[in-house]
Structure 1
Amino acid sequence: MRIATYLQEGRRRVGVVEDTVVRPLPDGTSPVEAAFGGHPVGTPVPLTDVSLLAPLQPPTIRDFVTFEEHVEGVRRSIDGNAGVPEAWYDAPTFYFTNPYAVIGPYDDVPVPPGTRVLDFELEVAAVIGREGRDLTPERARDHIVGYTILNDWSARDLQSREMQVNLGPCKGKDTAATLGPYLVTADELEPYRDTDGFLRLSLTATVNGEVIGKDLLSNMSWTFEEMVAYASRGTVVRPGDVLGSGTCGNGGCLAELWGVKGRQEPPPLRPGDTVTLTVEGIGSVSNTVVAGVDRVPLPTGRRRTRERP
């Protein structure tokens, strides 16, 4: 199934997508509940008559970094270092990003305050359907209810500076995160699973219609089940939690290409640019960059005397 969250005549609804129509589900049905099926559906409505929203509003978003090629290129671009840190291979590292920044598949993206170097990131995200703790990868598969596209928009100049504090990123990743166009249930993507347990989905990124990157989701170094198991270690994952794959390689973002080429080519995103991300078996999201608000000035940190009482 494909689950959509949408606006129809000002009313927020959740429904099941069938070809070019969406069938509304009973009021109060959450996207995760909808993905388990068994709910009565209403009269079909053409998708052209509704406005698609993000398929869900997750309580948490863990964004992993599972593509070796992405790490190589972006590391060179952000801090000038070559190769992949040895510690990266130890476990599927992630950071928590801002669930309040989630936007829909066709919403505009404002330039984050103070940035001059805006970038996109092509990812796929797994959505948790059932609570679990200390899961094994084998058990974790039953806790993934579906998948969606994630664009982790990044202010690279802010990110580069703040990560020098070894506690980031924060404002470099805080303004927008696209989810959509649908929540595709896990069973829909099982035909794409390879013999090693990875989902072999083709990924494509374009800017203003020009192809910037292409990759396969199966180039991840960990499966989603392994990521969920790691996320649940010593804690819980709960329904609606989103786990991003991290950015794919071979042009899954601009910064990777900048690291490879040694220059900002293609250039950073500007107002008017439209980024379209397409994932086989899931669909496409397309967002246009617009001008943002001016940065509110703040003082720099005070160098204190460290006087004691």
Structure 2
Amino acid sequence: MRLMTFQDSGGDRLGALVDGDTVVVDLAAAADPNRPAFASMQALIDAGERGLAEARKLVADHPEHTRRPAGSVTWRSPLPRPVRLRDCGLFIEHLAPTGKSMAKRQAASADDPEAELARLLASGRYDVPKLVTERVLYYGADHLSVSGPDEVINCPSYSAHLDYELEWAAVVGRTGRDITPDDAHSYIFGYTIFNDWTARDTQALIAQAGFGVGGDSKDFDGSTTLGPCIVTADEIADPYALEMSAWVNGVERSRGTTRRMHHSFESAVVQLSTGKTVYAGEVLGSGTVRSGTSFENGWQLADGDVVELEVEGIGVLRNRVQIPGR
């Protein structure tokens, strides 16, 4: 199924996309009013396999009055407030060119930029640590700052350099602890597109201080965009054979493939559940595919640009950016 969240005068509602994503079926309207499983995406996730089976029946045989044109509703993030949100380093190929770009930015203000760049690169500070090849590293993203399709993304006032990141994500469907590799796939509810918006100038300052790549550079209103829908895991035959691309104002700017993931979502589920609990409704970001940012490719978004991220089998996630002074 292709599940989404839309908004009407009564608030957020759970929908399913049919007829080539041109029609939304209002699942709450189609279901028995005494069934809470269709009150929200989180409620459906919590309902487990039984809830999904009921949802499939509703989609297959829904009343006409529950159908709405997809273009007539306001799309929301499919999970407007995930129970937890972590961005993992499952793609690692982009780390080397991104590190070099950050070193160039820092060296640019030196009296001799080329010499300073050589010094910084020789220091090893911008090398890719071996640990990222051995473990799934992650940072906790702000689950209170999630945005959805077609929302305007505002560059925070302390930054002048907003960037997109081409990613996708798995949504955890079951709560568990010490999950084994053989069972890990059964804990994945579905997949969505993930745009990890980043204030690059702020990120560079934080990185110089040795506090990683997050903080204020990724914690601002709307800084994580999810959508346009969640495609249930059974709909994706091979999640590690999908094409990914980013388009800005209709021009392709980034292209990659999930084949290049160094770690899998299943590996993340296993590691993150070792000795601790993962919860139904958590979102696990993939990290950025190589070439999946403007920063890595040596250019910068401008005010009013429209960014579209596309992942095969999921759809297109579209947003316009607002960057004062750009």
Q: SS of the counterpart of 1:161? A: helix
Question: What are the superposed Cα offsets for residues 252-283 of structure 1, whole Å, 9 maximum, x if unpaired?
Answer: 112222xxxxxxx32x2222011100000000
Q: Which residue identity is paired with 2:197?
A: W
- Describe how 1:41-190 pairs up with structure 2 within 5 A: 41=62, 43-56=66-79, 57-79=81-103, 81=121, 83-168=127-212, 169-175=214-220, 176-189=223-236
Unaligned runs of 5+ in 1: 194-198, 258-264, 294-309
Residue 279 of structure 2 is matched in structure 1 by 238
Q: SS of the counterpart of 1:256? A: coil
The counterpart of 2:238, out of the listed 192, 201, 204, is 192
Residue 23 of structure 1 is matched in structure 2 by 25
Write the distance in 1 (CA, Å) between the matches of 2:13 and 2:324.
29
Question: What are the superposed Cα offsets for residues 150-180 of structure 1, whole Å, 9 maximum, x if unpaired?
Answer: 0000011111111233334110001211100
Residue 298 of structure 1 is matched in structure 2 by none
Write the distance in 2 (CA, Å) between the matches of 1:221 and 1:33.
32
The counterpart of 2:247, out of the listed 206, 215, 220, is 206
TM-score, normalised by the number of residues in structure 1: 0.85
Q: SS of the counterpart of 2:303? A: coil
Cα RMSD (Å): 1.9
Residue 4 of structure 1 is matched in structure 2 by 4
Q: Kindly tell me: are residues 134 and 167 of structure 1, through their superposed partners in 2, closer, same or farther at Cα, counting changes over 3 Å? A: farther
Q: SS of the counterpart of 1:158? A: helix
Please tell me whether the aligned partners of residues 155 and 161 of structure 2 are also in contact (alpha carbons under 8 angstroms): no
Write the distance in 2 (CA, Å) between the matches of 1:3 and 1:45.
14
Deviation at 1:112, TM superposition (A): 1.4
Please tell me whether the aligned partners of residues 149 and 228 of structure 2 are also in contact (alpha carbons under 8 angstroms): yes
Deviation at 1:201, TM superposition (A): 0.4
Deviation at 1:8, TM superposition (A): 2.9
Please tell me whether the aligned partners of residues 142 and 219 of structure 2 are also in contact (alpha carbons under 8 angstroms): yes
Please tell me whether the aligned partners of residues 109 and 289 of structure 1 are also in contact (alpha carbons under 8 angstroms): yes
Write the distance in 1 (CA, Å) between the matches of 2:274 and 2:294.
33
Q: SS of the counterpart of 1:68? A: coil
Write the distance in 1 (CA, Å) between the matches of 2:180 and 2:201.
38
Please tell me whether the aligned partners of residues 8 and 49 of structure 1 are also in contact (alpha carbons under 8 angstroms): no
Write the distance in 1 (CA, Å) between the matches of 2:261 and 2:215.
24
Question: What are the superposed Cα offsets for residues 72-107 of structure 1, whole Å, 9 maximum, x if unpaired?
Answer: 111112245455222221201100011111001110
Please tell me whether the aligned partners of residues 68 and 220 of structure 1 are also in contact (alpha carbons under 8 angstroms): yes
Q: Kindly tell me: are residues 292 and 34 of structure 1, through their superposed partners in 2, closer, same or farther at Cα, counting changes over 3 Å? A: farther
Write the distance in 1 (CA, Å) between the matches of 2:182 and 2:217.
35
Q: Which residue identity is paired with 1:5?
A: T
Deviation at 1:291, TM superposition (A): 4.2
Please tell me whether the aligned partners of residues 204 and 213 of structure 1 are also in contact (alpha carbons under 8 angstroms): yes
Q: Which segment drifts farther, 7-16 or 168-177?
A: 7-16
- Deviation >3 Å, runs of 4+: 32-35, 39-42, 79-83
Q: Which segment drifts farther, 102-111 or 23-32?
A: 23-32
Percent of aligned positions that are identical: 38
1:253 aligns with 2:255: no
Please tell me whether the aligned partners of residues 65 and 71 of structure 1 are also in contact (alpha carbons under 8 angstroms): no
Write the distance in 1 (CA, Å) between the matches of 2:158 and 2:209.
18
Write the distance in 2 (CA, Å) between the matches of 1:86 and 1:192.
28
Q: SS of the counterpart of 1:254? A: coil
Please tell me whether the aligned partners of residues 103 and 179 of structure 1 are also in contact (alpha carbons under 8 angstroms): yes
Q: SS of the counterpart of 1:100? A: coil
Q: Which residue identity is paired with 2:41?
A: P
Deviation at 1:17, TM superposition (A): 1.0
Deviation at 1:11, TM superposition (A): 3.5
Please tell me whether the aligned partners of residues 111 and 271 of structure 1 are also in contact (alpha carbons under 8 angstroms): no
